Amino acid sequence: MKVLVVGATGGSGRAAVTALVADGHEVTALARRASAVLGGQAGVRPVDGDATVAADVDAAVRGQDAVVVALGITESPMRVRLRGPAGTPLDVRSRGTATVVAAMREHGVRRLVVQSSYGVGETRDLLPLSSRLVFALLLKPQIADHEVQEDVVRRSGLDWTLVQPVYLTDGDEPAARSTDGTVEGMKVSRRAVGEVLARLATGADDVGRCVSISGAVPGPVRGHRVVACVR
C-alpha cells in the first residue's frame, strides 16, 4: 500500500514510518524537516511541507491509499503552557487534520488513522482526578485542540480510526489495545504506538472507533489509572 504519514518526524510518526517500511509499504513522509530527518531512508519519500498548508498536503495526499496523522508539538508542555509554542501553531493538530481531511475527500482517499490522546472525547470521564488536574493546569490548550481534532475526524465521512495512547516513552513497552477505554500500564512506547498506527492504516480493523493504547503488563488489568500524552 501507499501510505502518507503526516507529522512523520515526531516520535510516533517516525515509529509509524519505520513499521510501514518494515512491512513493505510505500511511505510518503510529510513534515517541515522531512528531508533532513528521513532523507536517504530506504522505502521513504520525504516531503518537506506544512500540514496546515493546503497546497502542501494536497500534493502529498494525491495517489495515497491511506493516511496516518501524528501531529504534535515537540516543545515541553510547561513551555507551551506558559509562553506558547515557538515554531508550531498551538492548534496544529486540528488545523492540520482538517487540511488532511479536505485533501482526502478531494482525491478519494478513504482510510484515515489519527493519533489523539487518552482522556479526550469518549475516554474523558475515565481519567483519574490527578490526571484531570494535569490536563486543567498544564495541558489545557493542547487537550482542547485534541478535542477539536477528534470532532473533525468524526465528522469527516472517511473510514477513520482514532488512536488514544497513554503516556509516551522511548522505551520498549509493548502495547495493549482496547475499544472500551480499558487501559493496562500507565506508559507505552512510541515504537509500539507507531506499530499500531501502521497496522490500522493498512487494514480495515476498528473503522469508526476509538482505540485506547496502553503498556501491556503481566497479570490482571490494572484499571483506568493513566497519564495522558500530547504527542
Q: pLDDT digits over 127-145, tens only? A: 766 666 666 665 677 788 9
Amino acid code (one letter) for 169: T
The CA–CA distances, whole Å, from 82 to 105, 131, 138, 166, 220 equal 37, 19, 9, 23, 40
Sequence-ordered list of residues with C-beta below 8 angstroms from that of 22, at least 6 positions apart, any chain: none
- The C-alpha atoms of residue 42 and residue 25 are separated, in whole angstroms, by 11
Architecture of domain 2-123+140-165+190-213: 3-Layer(aba) Sandwich (3.40)
**What is the rounded radius of gyration, in angstroms, for the C-alpha atoms of the chain?**
16
Four-residue CA torsion sign, 217, 222, 227, 229? positive
Q: pLDDT digits over 139-184, tens only? A: 677 788 999 999 999 999 999 999 999 888 998 878 899 999 888 8
Cell of 121: 472525547
The structure's pTM equals 0.89
Cell of 196: 499500531
Decide which of 231 and 4 is more confident. Answer: 4
Predicted local confidence at residue 130, as pLDDT:
63
Domain-by-domain residue ranges, the chain? 2-123+140-165+190-213
